Amino acid sequence: MPDRQLQQRSETSSYREISFEAYTASLIAHVDENKASPFVISAIGGGGKTTTLLDLYLQHDNERSVILTSTTAMFAPTYCQADFTRVAGDRSMPDTLKRVTLGNPPAFSGVWFQHPFENVEGKYKGIDKEVFDAHVRTLRMSNDPILSTNKMTTCVSDRVPLFLCEADGSKQKPFKAHAAHEPVIPETSDLTLILFGLSGIGKKCTEDVVHRSSLFADVVGISEGDNITFDHLVKLLRSGMLFKGIPPTSRVSVIFHQTDVLPEDMRSKNQLLACAEATLDVPRIDAVFFRGKDPNQDQQLTTYMGLAHKHPALPLFSTVLLAAGTSSRMPGQNKLLLPLGGEPVIVQTLRRIFAGPCRDIVIVTGHDSDAIREVIDPIIEKDTPPDTRVIAVHNKRYLEGQGTSVARGITFLGEASIAGFCVPGDQPLISPGAMRTLAEKATCNTILVPCREDGSRASPVLFGKKYYDELAALEGDVGGRQVMWKHPEILQLILTGGCDLFYEDVDTKDSYERLVNARSI
């Protein structure tokens, strides 16, 4: 039991204590619920990457397909017996870890590399990042619940596959500073782990301890040969160097590996808690873990201390869901209230947004506002995902056109929002996977336009925060396209692919009937 001081501290803290095992399992379980995407964990930094990934492999190999790979270079597990023993103890290596697939990705659990090095036995060239991301996105789109419901694909399993990617090399040294070309993190990463090997604490900043020691020294403000302290590791994190290349959709966690080698006074609960809080004070870090051998559990790898934010430390993506129109091309009917798959069209659209990357959703009503609220309010109350804000606002000027609804919704987005989608309420099969692909590439300064396989433009468009003021000033019936026309040089067309159903809207009776027929396949 924690002592009284720690109990009082936790009652007022914005953090929660959690083990690394429970933390990763909870994130993967959340994706299992939606079956929308493989889960990708990337490891970068210093000592402990291979050990950590092997540990994760053994934790999940019996319950799902797990694929171990690298975007740089890596020794095959059969040549990493010491790392495997640290996490497996007396257990033998499973056959799946002995199976290396070259080139095309494996269909089941195993190891995936590009080709072996000619002069280094057991070492393999990793998979190009673009190839890796393309494969994950293909799985993400084919595993979409809409397709699985309609039996249009055989790719869906009960649980999403898990990819474990070593995205960095440190020459087996405890610490590392990144050169300009490093690290090589997949854009599809859901969780990026930054590792430090605590065996380097108290040692001199030299190439024996730090890969790129001169760069490390410059960044943290010491001289080569000075002793490295924990504060220097926090300074390295604060510099932002280790966040380079991490996609905005990825959570970031820090693992301090080899906690067991620290002096006993440095690994007391109070000391580790203080170090964990100092680390979590660095922006963007979601969780921190102190891990190492447990002398009471046959030297098995364990979590000495784990601390995570109670609310995710992720960049905020938003959606303005447009539900104010008069359905002028369907006289006498409100297309948003038509039944589709057992629920109104607008409810289907909202559920699909829930499965995407947005945690800030503003629904703009207008025509038939009371009827729209009657069907969406119960869904908002019952099914809103954790850590997601959903509000509905009314646009009194809805008869003036869609531009006024976009403007109305934009003004209610969260202050921390970095980019926002404008989603038509009549796009009920909107792809969470396509939204995720755009979010992975987003910045505050971008306007990203999804494209079908044939290259034609689609919706929803993702607008960076830089353009919120222009969107908030819109008038008329054109909507966000006015801003796109104004900045043609900024537009980036992103191939999101997938089924044409994802981009269909309910404009007419014919289009509605097509979607009804598709949903009944």
Residue 281 and residue 216 share a domain? yes
- Residue range 179-193: mean pLDDT, rounded: 96
Task: Check if the beta carbon of residue 300 is closer than 8 Å to that of residue 286.
Answer: no
Is the pLDDT at 157 greater than 60? The verdict is no
What number is the average pLDDT over the span 312-339? 91
Judge if 25 and 57 occupy the same domain.
yes
Q: Give the CATH number of the domain where residue 362 resides.
A: 3.90.550.10
Same domain, 343 and 441: yes
- The predicted pLDDT at position 168 comes to 93
pLDDT digits (tens, 9 = 90+) for 367-414: 999 999 999 999 999 999 989 999 999 999 999 999 999 999 999 999
What residue numbers bound the domain in which 498 lies? 316-519
Domain boundary residue, one of 246, 278, 309:
309
Position 7 confidence tier, pLDDT thresholds 50, 70, 90? very low
Torsions phi, psi for 417 (to 5 deg): -60, 135
Residue 13 has pLDDT above 80, yes or no: no
Q: What angle do CA 19, 21, 27 make, to 5 degrees?
A: 100
| Ranges 7-11, 346-350, 422-426, 433-437: which has the least confidence | 7-11
Domain total in the chain: 2
Cα 393 to its chain centre, rounded Å, is 29
Identify whether residues 222 and 333 lie together within a single domain.
no
Q: List, for residues 237-256, the tens digit of each pLDDT value.
A: 999 999 999 999 999 999 99
Residue 483 pLDDT: 95
* One domain, residues 370 and 487: yes
Query: Where residue 299 falls among pLDDT bands split at 50, 70, 90?
Result: low
Please, what is the Cα angle at 313 between 308 and 319, to 5 degrees?
140
- Segment 458-484, tens digit of pLDDT: 999 999 999 999 999 999 888 899 999
Residue 20's pLDDT band (cuts 50, 70, 90): very high
Band the pLDDT of 36: cuts 50, 70, 90: low
3 state SS of 500: helix
- Give yes or no: residues 83 and 230 share one domain: yes
- Do 355 and 379 contact (CB within 8 A), yes or no? no
pLDDT at 206 over 60: yes
pLDDT score of 155 more than 50: no
Q: What is residue 267's predicted lDDT score, i.e. its pLDDT?
A: 87
Q: Are 303 and 320 in a shared domain?
A: no
Q: What integer best gives the mean pLDDT of the chain?
A: 91
Tokens standing for residue 91: 């257990």
Instruction: Name the DSSP letter for residue 132.
Output: H
Q: Could you say which of 309, 344, 359 is where a domain stops?
A: 309
Handedness of CA 129, 135, 139, 140 (dihedral sign): positive
Distance CA 319, CA 197 (A): 40
